[in-house]
């Protein structure tokens, strides 16, 4: 019996994620499997932890890859942090902040929400007020790079006020890690997680996570067990740590993939990589301006790895995306939640933050909009790309 | 900057899992990534669900791959089933039954344990008594193939008594699926999960799971939300179902791998595959007998995919395993829990349930035992393999 071929034709993934995996990463995934407690695999785990520390810019010993996608990172962060009836403050400036409130509530947290309008970051003054009104809160959760809006949340001031209040700072870096600076140590993030399928250019399936010593100590002293066996850091720490305590079976080939993805970042260097993401994004923003498209986010809060713009009135945004896919095999994203049908989300992540990909996308986008009755001057848009 | 090569030299994985991945599966993993909501990927998800239904032998519409390893399957099974203070009966005939009690407790279950001595299956009479004493219990959990002992638990009688009592039957099939019959429909399993890295010959990272309509309805009517966002079947059902509700990002390349692994099973056919596992295991058991090794499990309860035997008195079992690894690049497993240091666990799973692998293992095992002062007649052991 034979089934038809799997349709896995290569496409250019320039939506909110997954981004394309680097070819080296895909090759690493197909290396022979070895045992998950084999000394050679333990060596790969150790090296992967060191590489994660480099990318997270931290010396946190509690740095590892959780055995699930980025969402498992969010789940692990809250599951390990929350005790029943614990008060937590969650900053909601998009869908993923909203999701945090759902996740934390399931573990019994009393959630205080600090919000901001879609497309705007959290105003530190609003958080300051919430902290003042809720001095008994233990944790502040916030999304660094909101994948639903394209906002890069400034965290300097926020980190300061959270720590002055003696609270823990929990940060979602799913769409920032590997694309923009994630200053875990410098800004004292206590619990930080990410995913593999955004700026790391690795297939989804693991959630890099790092925990400050202060937070790690607190978790290790919990009197109530973590209400999630699979993601219990007290056990997973021992699996990634010296005693190699058997917990789950690590996703072995996914770990090879992450290892290779992180090696690629080490080769390029954090700073050069961030700079590349910034400079390409700034050019792309000018391209969109030349096309007359209105950005969702004010430039100073804009995320270089994910750009959002309003689609023109009267244009069916889903149809534009379908056109891009059908004709050019390019995937970009639509809006989520209240932005559904109103915006596009374009990822310039890792290997896709690149002049060739941007040129192709520009040509394709102009063609698609023109075909949908919104006139774009392709030549003018391309001129931006070749300007210096 | 260049790091040393990853040490992923091919090894023969004949322990309790992971088993070797089929080469076709590894190749599938490195196919180009496409978007997780791309119609082509949705097609792959649908096909994978149909293939899982074939391997699970069920028409359950709620059949899917959970985004984590086999342990995530166990977590998902209990997280979705348990309500706080719910009474559940868990049959413990090894480490994985024991783990079920830990997992279920974290979700607030009152656990009644039915035990059996290590290496023995659960006695249905003991379960019958527990059911009679606890008519208010809602679920009975049991491990079909105990990876810690090598017991294949008979479930005919048990299924009957569980359903007569109106309870749900929750079954761990991590080490049986794809190796021995997992009669989901015939024996009315309500909640069944497995892992990919045992008899499916696929890297770890997904947990096949299937839910009976009766159980699915019960979960959909829970008044208290599932205390685990990442593994909440009420949301995941909608992601795998018609409306493609965005929940997590599926582990895309892992899904290719599982898809290919299941295609391989379809090509061979369930019945032929089970028969192959049985006949090879029976031969291997005779080989061990010829070597004078004492089995842990009585033949009628022995699991074909995982064989356990006591290591001879005075032989350092860990040193034997190290010898196998160092000289032959063969991995077998030691004991867990109270069997640590006393037994070996040998997996004949999928591609490794094969005369060539068994011959090599026999030669290597005889050599290793001889080198450790336990005399084995290699010729006599090999003769068993060529006998008809």
Q: What is the pLDDT of residues B298-327, one digit of tens each?
A: 999 999 999 999 999 999 999 999 999 999
CA-to-CA distance for A300 and A152, rounded, in angstroms? 9
- For residues A256-275, give the mean pLDDT: 98
Q: What is the mean pLDDT of residues A334-363?
A: 97
Q: Do A6 and B28 touch (CB under 8 A)?
A: yes
Contact yes or no for A249 and B26 at CB 8 A: no
For residue B194, name the pLDDT band (cuts at 50, 70, 90).
Answer: very high
d(CA A72, CA A64): 13
- Is residue B163 a contact partner of residue B187, using CB atoms and an 8 Å limit? no
The DSSP line for B282-314 is HHHHHHHHHTTPEESS-GGGB-TTEEEEEPPTT
Q: What is the pLDDT of residues B155-189, one digit of tens each?
A: 999 999 999 999 999 999 999 999 999 999 999 99
**Do B249 and A6 lie within an 8 Å CB cutoff?**
no
A49 is in an annotated binding site: no
Residue A326's contacts (CB-CB under 8 Å, 6 or more residues apart) are: none
Contact between residue A199 and residue A305 where contact means Cβ atoms under 8 Å apart: yes
Helix (H, G, I), strand (E, B) or coil at B41: helix
- A-contacting residues in B 253-282 (Cβ below 8 Å): 253-254, 256-257, 259-260, 263, 266-267
Q: How far is B226 from chain A (nearest CA, A)?
A: 7
Pair B327, B314: CB distance under 8 Å = no
Highest mean pLDDT (candidates A186-190, B235-239, B383-387): A186-190
Structure tokens at A64: 């590892």
Contact call for residues A246 and B71 (beta carbons, < 8 A): no
Taking only Cα atoms into account, the Rg of chain B, rounded to an integer number of angstroms, comes to 21
Backbone φ and ψ of B165, nearest 5°: -85, 0
Say whether pLDDT at A105 is over 70: yes
A245 at interface of B, judged by CB pairs closer than 8 A: no
Question: Which DSSP letter does residue B100 get?
Answer: H
- Number of Cβ pairs closer than 8 Å across A and B? 239
- What is the pLDDT of chain A when averaged over all its residues? 96
**Sequence-distant (≥ 6) Cβ neighbours of residue A270 within 8 angstroms:** A54, A55, A57, A181
What is the CA A232 to chain-centroid distance, rounded?
22
In this complex, which of A20, A43, A253 lies closest to B203 when CB atoms are compared?
Answer: A253
CA distance A176 to chain B (A): 17
Mutate to test the interface with A, among B68, B198, B239, B270 (most CBs of A within 10 A): B68
Residue B287 contacts A, CB cutoff 8 Å:
no
Q: What is the mean pLDDT of residues B334-348?
A: 96
Residues of chain A with pLDDT > 70, as a percent, come to: 99
SS3 B245: coil
DSSP A257-302: HHHHHHHHHHHH-HHHHHHHHHHHHHHHHHHHHHTTPEESS-GGGB
Interface test with B, best of A48, A82, A193, A203 (most B CBs within 10 A): A203
Looking at this predicted complex, what is its ipTM? 0.96
The CATH class, in words, for A270-386 is: alpha beta
Is the CB of B245 inside 8 Å of chain A's CB atoms?
no
- Do you know the residue count of chain A? 388
Please give the DSSP secondary-structure letter assigned to residue B227. Answer: S
Tell me the average pLDDT across A356-379. 97
pLDDT at B1: 60
Dump pLDDT digits (tens) for B55-79.
Answer: 999 999 999 999 999 999 999 999 9
Cis peptide bond N-terminal to B358, omega within 30:
no
Interface of B with A in 119-178 (CB under 8 A): none
Flag whether pLDDT at A349 surpasses 80: yes
Asked whether the beta carbons of B1 and A266 are under 8 A apart, the reply is yes
* Residue B160 Cα, gap to closest chain A Cα (Å): 30
- Residue A246 has a pLDDT of 84
pLDDT tens string A42-56: 999 999 999 999 999
CB crowding B296-323: b at 16 or more within 10 Å, else e? bbeeebbbbbbbbbbbbeeeebeebbeb
Q: Are strands B330-331 and B12-13 parallel, antiparallel or unpaired?
A: parallel
For residue B57, what pLDDT is reported?
97
- What number is the average pLDDT over the span B3-32? 95
Question: Is the Cβ–Cβ distance between B372 and B315 less than 8 Å?
Answer: yes
A283 Cβ under 8 Å from any chain B Cβ: no
Q: How far is CA A67 from CA B249, B251, B313, in A?
A: 13, 11, 39
DSSP run (H or E) holding A333: strand A333-334
Nearest C-alpha of chain A: how many angstroms from B2?
Answer: 7
Instruction: Report the sign of the C-alpha dihedral through residues B145, B148, B151, B153, in that order.
Output: negative
Confidence of residue A20 (pLDDT cuts 50, 70, 90): very high
Domain extents in chain B:
23-267, 271-386
Q: Which residues of A touch B147 (CB under 8 A)?
A: none
Q: Which two tokens stand for residue A133?
A: 């009104």
What pLDDT score was predicted for residue A169?
98
Give the span between the Cα atoms of B153 and B143, in whole angstroms.
7
Task: Compute the distance between CA of residue B273 and CA of residue B277 in angstroms, rounded to an integer.
Answer: 6
Report d(CA B107, CA A260) in Å as an integer: 37
The percentage of residues in chain B with a pLDDT greater than 70, rounded to a whole number, is 99
Q: pLDDT confidence of B349, banded at 50, 70, 90?
A: very high
Percent of chain B with pLDDT over 90: 94
Q: What pLDDT score was predicted for residue A3?
A: 84
CATH code: domain B271-386 is 3.90.1150.10
Nearest residue of A to residue B269, measured between CA atoms: A1
Interface of A with B in 46-65 (CB under 8 A): 47
The CB density around residue B336, as the number of other CB atoms within 10 Å, is 19
**Is B244 a residue whose pLDDT tops 90?**
no
Task: Give CA–CA dist A195/A240, Å, rounded.
Answer: 18
Report the pLDDT value the prediction gives residue B388, as an integer from 0 to 100: 65
- Strands B294-295 and B306-310 come out as antiparallel
Say if B295 is an interface residue toward chain A (CB within 8 Å). no
Contact between B248 and A71 using a beta-carbon 8 Å cutoff: yes
**Shortest distance, CA A97 to any CA of chain B (angstroms):** 14
- pLDDT tens digits, residue range B207-221? 999 999 999 999 999
- CA distances (Å), origin B211, targets A70, A152, B220: 25, 41, 12
Q: For the purposes of burial, counting CB atoms within 10 Å of the CB of B90, is it exposed (0-12), middle (13-18) or buried (19 or more)?
A: buried
Chain B CB within 8 Å of residue A387 CB: no
CB contact under 8 A, A71 and B107: no
Strands B306-310, B343-347: parallel, antiparallel or unpaired by DSSP?
antiparallel
CATH top-level class of A23-267:
alpha beta
Average pLDDT for residues A24-42, to the nearest whole number? Answer: 95
The two three-digit tokens of residue A63, written as one number:
């740095």
Q: For chain A, what percent of residues have pLDDT higher than 90?
A: 94
Between CA A78 and CA A61 the distance in angstroms is: 19
Residue of A nearest to B17 (CA): A35
pLDDT in tens, A178-214: 999 999 999 999 999 999 999 999 999 999 999 999 9
Exposed, middle or buried by CB within 10 Å (0-12, 13-18, 19+), for A238? middle
| pLDDT at residue B54 is higher than 70 | yes
A253 with A202: CB under 8 angstroms? no
Give Dmax (Cα) for chain A: 67
Q: Is B229 within 8 Å of A2 when comparing Cβ atoms? A: no
- pLDDT tens digits, residue range B69-125? 999 999 999 999 999 999 999 999 999 999 999 999 999 999 999 999 989 999 999
C-alpha distance from residue A49 to each of A67, A180, A238 (Å): 14, 20, 14
Per the rule left: phi > 0, alpha: psi between -120 and 50, beta: everything else, B224 is beta
Name the closest residue on chain B to residue A250, using Cα atoms: B204
Contacts of B3 in chain A (CB under 8 A): 47, 263, 266
Phi/psi at B111 (nearest 5 deg)? -100, 125
| pLDDT for A340 beyond 80 | yes
Query: Which DSSP letter does residue A318 get?
Result: H
């Amino acid at each position: 019996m034979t089934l038809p071929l799997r349709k896995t034709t290569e496409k250019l993934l320039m939506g909110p994620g997954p981004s394309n995996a680097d070819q080296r990463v895909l090759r690493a995934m197909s290396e022979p499997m070895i045992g998950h407690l084999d000394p050679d695999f333990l060596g790969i785990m150790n090296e992967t932890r060191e590489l994660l520390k480099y990318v997270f810019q931290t010396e946190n010993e509690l740095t590892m890859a959780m055995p699930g996608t980025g969402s498992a990172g969010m789940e692990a962060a809250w599951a390990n942090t929350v005790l029943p009836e614990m008060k937590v403050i969650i900053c909601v400036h998009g869908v993923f902040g909203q999701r945090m409130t759902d996740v934390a509530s399931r573990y019994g947290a009393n959630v205080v929400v600090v919000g901001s309008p879609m497309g705007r970051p959290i105003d530190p003054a609003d958080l300051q007020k919430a902290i003042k009104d809720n001095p008994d809160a233990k944790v502040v959760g916030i999304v660094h790079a909101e994948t639903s809006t394209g906002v890069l949340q400034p965290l300097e001031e926020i980190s300061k006020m959270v720590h002055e209040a003696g609270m823990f700072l929990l940060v979602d870096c799913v769409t920032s890690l590997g694309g923009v600076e994630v200053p875990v140590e410098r800004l004292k993030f206590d619990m930080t997680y990410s995913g593999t399928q955004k700026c790391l250019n690795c297939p989804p399936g693991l959630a890099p996570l790092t925990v400050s010593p202060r937070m790690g100590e607190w978790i290790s002293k919990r009197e109530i067990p973590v209400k999630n066996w699979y993601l219990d850091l007290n056990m997973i720490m021992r699996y990634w740590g010296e005693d190699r305590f058997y917990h789950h079976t690590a996703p072995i080939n996914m770990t090879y993939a992450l290892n290779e993805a992180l090696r690629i970042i080490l080769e390029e260097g954090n700073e050069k990589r961030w700079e590349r993401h910034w400079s390409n994004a700034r050019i792309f923003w000018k391209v969109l301006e030349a096309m007359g498209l209105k950005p969702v986010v004010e430039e100073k809060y804009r995320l270089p790895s994910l750009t959002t713009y309003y689609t023109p009135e009267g244009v069916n945004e889903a149809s534009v995306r379908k056109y891009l896919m059908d004709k050019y095999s390019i995937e970009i994203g639509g809006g989520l939640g209240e932005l559904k049908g109103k915006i596009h989300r374009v990822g310039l992540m890792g290997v896709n933050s690149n002049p060739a990909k941007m040129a192709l996308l520009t040509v394709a986008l102009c063609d698609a909009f023109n075909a949908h009755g919104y006139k774009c001057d392709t030549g003018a848009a391309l001129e931006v790309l070749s300007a210096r």
